[in-house]
Amino acid sequence: MVETTAWSAEDVFEQGAGDGSDTPIWLLKQGETAASLSEAQRAWLKAQKFSGSAKKQVSIPASDGAIAGVALGLGDGASGDPSGPSDVLAGQLAQSLPAATYKVADGERASELAAIAWGLGAYKFGRYRKSPDATAPRAKLRISDAANAARIVNTTEAVWFGRDLINTPASDMGPQELEEAVRLLAARHGAAVHSIVGDDLLAQNYPMIHAVGRASPRPPRLIDLTWGSPDAPKITLVGKGITFDTGGLDIKPPSAMLIMKKDMGGAATALALAHMIMGQKLNCRLRVLIPSAENAIGGDAFRPGDILQSRAGLSVEIGNTDAEGRLVLADALSLADDESPDSIFVFATLTGAARSALGPDLPAFFTDCDALGASLPVTSAAIGDPVWRMPLWDGYKRHLETEIADINNVWETPFAGAITAALFLRRFVKNARRFAHFDLYGWRPASRPLGPKGGEPQTARAVMDHLQRELTS
């Protein structure tokens, strides 16, 4: 059974103008003061050695001992944190302040990003460890702009939804449960869902999805969601849905398996983005394809050296069973490409090489569209959801060549693993106008203002920001 907190983000927001009783929050840059602070309040901040340094938080008392306001330092305008620009620091307030309704004072700083940061910082995953205060009132932020409120709440819910999916262990999040989550999302937005399960994958020509999942007692599947007008621009999202990855017969060491519940982080990211697209009613025909399987070990597991047939007709030699994500994605990409969409976006926790190059906070992305390649790193950094472009360098195609099949699923050396994986995926896309692949970690290693340690649908907000600009211009 799927459990999600994703529909409850309104618990941390108040909407409308309010009655003026909200507790003010001052977001102050280094050395800055606010006109609405009284002389006594300024004196208090000075006594607390508050100068606006990044992350410095001070509660200002009222004469009766209650909290009259809160000051949060933004530093010199950059956050001093990998999360991004200074407004994201508002996320730390949602968990640290007592229950009350707050409002950003001096409205010029009441940015949409600060409000989204508040929502993301308020996230809690409580499915398995119910705290005594789970139903207690929470700190809320007032959003007075009705036009922005729906977008802020939807974006928060979408990220929470993605986090819930990743954080749920594989015991409760197998391919079937992932499909149930897709169906819940579809029901909320009036989308259609179709799935192909188990041996039907062979009958309908998805042999690599079947091969990766056949050793598990939990049947693999291809989940297909569609929404929107058929005449609108076609946006297709493909998300890797490996609900647990042992590595297969090329088994991972125990330390590498500890958070392999996150190997469906690409699917969670695609679904979080889909939630935003549908919830904010972007003008597009959306399709989401989630090839889902558990890469298990058993007598029926696919083996190193096997030759698999793909939906696209290419034969694939298996150089390593732990490079299974690209196999299931390849069959899904072949289907996505059949209808020549305007854009295909692929999301996957695909390679350790991307993490070695860029670390856990900065997803790699690959694209054949130079306009997207130039703009997305800039706009994504501005909203605290960064990406970094890496090359689809054709010179490495030769390393996927093999003498007995059309292509190998890996290059046998440890070099350029993220690039060769991206080139493998690109081989299965011929008709789409634009291709982009995001190789992400899907996990926040430590708590930060934008959220606690745990699952994170990285790049979902970044791509949504780009699509909003593109489809409403």
Q: Quick: pLDDT tens for 108-163.
A: 445 889 999 999 999 999 889 877 666 778 899 998 776 589 999 999 999 999 99
Give the tokens for residue 75.
């530093």
pLDDT, tens only, 25-40: 999 989 888 888 999 9
In this predicted model, what pLDDT tens digit does every residue of 267-325 receive, in sequence order?
Answer: 999 999 999 999 999 999 999 999 999 999 999 999 999 999 999 999 999 999 999 99
> What pLDDT sits at residue 472?
87
SS3 15: strand
Tokens coding 107: 């409205």
> One-letter amino acid identity for 187?
A
- Could you tell me the fold of the domain covering 168-472? Aminopeptidase (3.40.630)
What is d(CA 45, CA 58) in angstroms, rounded to the nearest whole number? 7
For 397-419, the pLDDT digits (tens) are 999 999 999 999 999 888 999 99
pLDDT (mean) for 165-188: 98
* Contact call for residues 316 and 308 (beta carbons, < 8 A): yes
Which parts of 230-368 fold into alpha helices (H)? Answer: 254-257, 265-279, 325-338, 352-358
Q: Is the pLDDT of residue 77 over 80?
A: no
Domain ranges of the chain: 9-149, 168-472
In the structure, how many helices (H) and strands (E) does the chain have? Answer: 14, 20
Residue 162 to residue 241: CA distance in whole angstroms = 12
Query: Catalytic site residues?
Result: 252, 326
> Which CATH superfamily hosts domain 9-149?
Leucine Aminopeptidase, subunit E, domain 1 (3.40.220.10)
> What confidence tier does 7 reach under pLDDT thresholds 50, 70, 90?
low
Mean model confidence pLDDT for the chain? 93
What is the structure's pLDDT at 76? 82
E strands, 120-271, in order: 140-143, 192-197, 221-227, 234-239, 241-245
Tell me the whole-structure pTM to 2 decimals: 0.96
Instruction: Label residue 82 by pLDDT band (50, 70, 90).
Output: very low
Identify the pLDDT of residue 257.
96
Give the whole-angstrom CA distance, residue 271 versus residue 164. 11
Determine the Cα angle at 357 with ends 397 and 454, to 5°: 120
